[in-house]
Structure 1
Amino acid sequence: MVERKAVGSRDLSNAWPAMSIVQAHAALTAPGAPFEMETLDIRGVPTRTWKNAPPTLAHVFAAGRAHDDKVFLVHDDERVTFEAFGRATLALAARLRADGIVKGDRVAVVMRNLPEWPVAFFAAALCGAIVTPLNAWWTGGELEYGLVDSGAKLLIVDAERLARLTEHLPATAIEHVYVARAVDEYSEPFANPLIVRLEGIIGAPMSWADLPAGELPPVDLVPEDDATIFYTSGTTGKPKGALGTHRNIVSNIMASAISAARTYLRRGEMPSVPDPAAPQKATLLSVPFFHATGCHAVMSPSLFAGAKLVMMKKWDAERAMALIERERVTGCGGVPTIAWQIIEHSARANYDLSSLESVSYGGAPSAPELVRQIKANFPKSQPGNGWGMTETSATFTHHMGEDYEHRPDSCGPPVPVCDLKVVDASGNALPPGEIGELWGKGPNVVKGYWNKPEASAETFTDGWVHTGDLARLDEEGFCFILDRAKDMLIRGGENIYCVEVENALYEHDAVMDAAIVARPHKSLGEEPAAVVTLSPGATATADELRAFVASRLAAFKVPVEVRFWDGPLPRNANGKIVKTELRDLFKAA
Structure 2
Amino acid sequence: MSEPDIFGPGGDYEITRIEQDGYSGPAFKKVWPSLRHLYDHAAAYGDRPFLVFEGKRYSYGEFFGEVRELAHLLQERYAVSPGDRVAIIMQNNPQWLTAFAAVTGLGAIAVAVNSWGRGEELQQALNHVSPKLVFIDPRRLDRLLGEGPVKCDLIVGGTDQDQVAGYPGYHTLLKEVEDGDNWPTPCPSTDDPALIMFTSGTTGNARGALFRHGAIAQSLKNLAFSGYMVGGAIYQKMLKAGITPDPTMDFQPTALLAFPLFHVAASHAVFLMNLQIGGRIIMVPKWDVGEVLSLVEKEGITSLSGVPAMMWDVLHHPDRNNHNLDSLVALGIGGAPETPDGVARLQAAFPRTVLGTGYGMTEVGGTIATNTGDDYLNRALSAGRILPSVQIRVIDDQGHNLPTGECGEILIRSAAAFDGYWDDPEATAAMMQDGWLHSGDFGYVDKEGFIFITGRIKDMVLSGGENISCAELEHLLQEHDQIREVAAFGLPDDRLGEIPAVAIIPSPGSSLSESDVQDYVAAHLAHFKVPKQVIFTDQPFPRTALGKIIKPDLLKQLGL
**TM-score in terms of structure 1 length:** 0.89
- Written as runs of structure 1 = structure 2, the 5 A alignment for 1:307-326 is 307-326=279-298
The aligned residue for residue 368 of structure 2 is 396
1:177 corresponds to 2:154:
yes
Alignment root-mean-square deviation, CA = 2.5
The aligned residue for residue 18 of structure 2 is 40
How far off is 1:213 after superposition? 4.6
Q: Distance in 2 between matches of 1:212 and 1:277?
A: 37
* 1:71-127 deviation line (CA, Å, top 9, x unaligned): 212111111111111011000000111111111000001101001111000100011
Contact 1:252 1:301 in 2 (8 A): no
- Written as runs of structure 1 = structure 2, the 5 A alignment for 1:18-167 is 27-98=5-76, 99-167=78-146
Counterpart residue identity of residue 57, structure 1? L
- State the secondary structure of the residue aligned to 2:417: coil
How far off is 1:523 after superposition? 2.1
Match of 2:165 among 167, 189, 200: 189
From the superposition, tell whether residues 462 and 152 of structure 1 become closer, same or farther in structure 2 (CA, over 3 Å): same
Contact 1:130 1:228 in 2 (8 A): yes
Contact 1:250 1:296 in 2 (8 A): no
Counterpart residue identity of residue 156, structure 2? V
How far off is 1:574 after superposition? 2.9
Contact 2:493 2:499 in 1 (8 A): yes
- Give identity over the alignment, percent: 35
How far off is 1:202 after superposition? 2.8
How far off is 1:183 after superposition? 6.7
From the superposition, tell whether residues 338 and 268 of structure 1 become closer, same or farther in structure 2 (CA, over 3 Å): closer
The aligned residue for residue 20 of structure 1 is none
From the superposition, tell whether residues 218 and 485 of structure 1 become closer, same or farther in structure 2 (CA, over 3 Å): same
Match of 1:259 among 226, 231, 234: 226
- Written as runs of structure 1 = structure 2, the 5 A alignment for 1:53-452 is 53-98=31-76, 99-168=78-147, 170=149, 172=151, 174=152, 176-182=153-159, 189-190=165-166, 195-202=167-174, 213-262=180-229, 277-452=249-424
- State the secondary structure of the residue aligned to 1:539: coil
- Number of residue pairs aligned between Structure 1 and Structure 2: 553
Contact 2:160 2:171 in 1 (8 A): no
1:554 corresponds to 2:526:
yes
Q: Distance in 2 between matches of 1:560 and 1:262?
A: 39
From the superposition, tell whether residues 493 and 428 of structure 1 become closer, same or farther in structure 2 (CA, over 3 Å): same
1:516 corresponds to 2:495:
no
Contact 1:388 1:397 in 2 (8 A): yes
Contact 2:89 2:136 in 1 (8 A): yes
Contact 2:18 2:24 in 1 (8 A): yes
From the superposition, tell whether residues 88 and 260 of structure 1 become closer, same or farther in structure 2 (CA, over 3 Å): closer
From the superposition, tell whether residues 108 and 357 of structure 1 become closer, same or farther in structure 2 (CA, over 3 Å): same
Contact 2:137 2:158 in 1 (8 A): yes
From the superposition, tell whether residues 550 and 118 of structure 1 become closer, same or farther in structure 2 (CA, over 3 Å): same
Q: Distance in 2 between matches of 1:274 and 1:110?
A: 43
Q: Distance in 1 between matches of 2:368 and 2:226?
A: 11
Q: Distance in 1 between matches of 2:388 and 2:321?
A: 40
Q: Distance in 1 between matches of 2:234 and 2:288?
A: 36
- State the secondary structure of the residue aligned to 1:170: coil
Q: Distance in 1 between matches of 2:288 and 2:236?
A: 38
* 1:165-205 deviation line (CA, Å, top 9, x unaligned): 12446364x2x211113477x95621xxxx3211113369x
From the superposition, tell whether residues 519 and 345 of structure 1 become closer, same or farther in structure 2 (CA, over 3 Å): same
- State the secondary structure of the residue aligned to 2:131: coil
Contact 2:73 2:174 in 1 (8 A): no
From the superposition, tell whether residues 66 and 171 of structure 1 become closer, same or farther in structure 2 (CA, over 3 Å): closer
Counterpart residue identity of residue 52, structure 1? K
Contact 2:482 2:507 in 1 (8 A): yes
Runs (5+) with no aligned partner, structure 1: 1-22
Runs (5+) with no aligned partner, structure 2: none
Q: Distance in 1 between matches of 2:372 and 2:533?
A: 35
Q: Distance in 2 between matches of 1:219 and 1:586?
A: 61
Contact 2:23 2:415 in 1 (8 A): no
Contact 2:461 2:470 in 1 (8 A): yes
**TM-score in terms of structure 2 length:** 0.93
Contact 1:263 1:402 in 2 (8 A): no
* 1:310-334 deviation line (CA, Å, top 9, x unaligned): 1222312111100000110011122
- State the secondary structure of the residue aligned to 1:413: strand
How far off is 1:251 after superposition? 2.1
The aligned residue for residue 450 of structure 2 is 478
From the superposition, tell whether residues 587 and 36 of structure 1 become closer, same or farther in structure 2 (CA, over 3 Å): farther
Counterpart residue identity of residue 91, structure 1? E
Counterpart residue identity of residue 124, structure 1? V
From the superposition, tell whether residues 266 and 67 of structure 1 become closer, same or farther in structure 2 (CA, over 3 Å): closer
Q: Distance in 1 between matches of 2:15 and 2:246?
A: 21
Q: Distance in 1 between matches of 2:314 and 2:186?
A: 45
Contact 1:519 1:583 in 2 (8 A): no
* 1:286-313 deviation line (CA, Å, top 9, x unaligned): 2111112211222101122111111222
From the superposition, tell whether residues 167 and 274 of structure 1 become closer, same or farther in structure 2 (CA, over 3 Å): farther
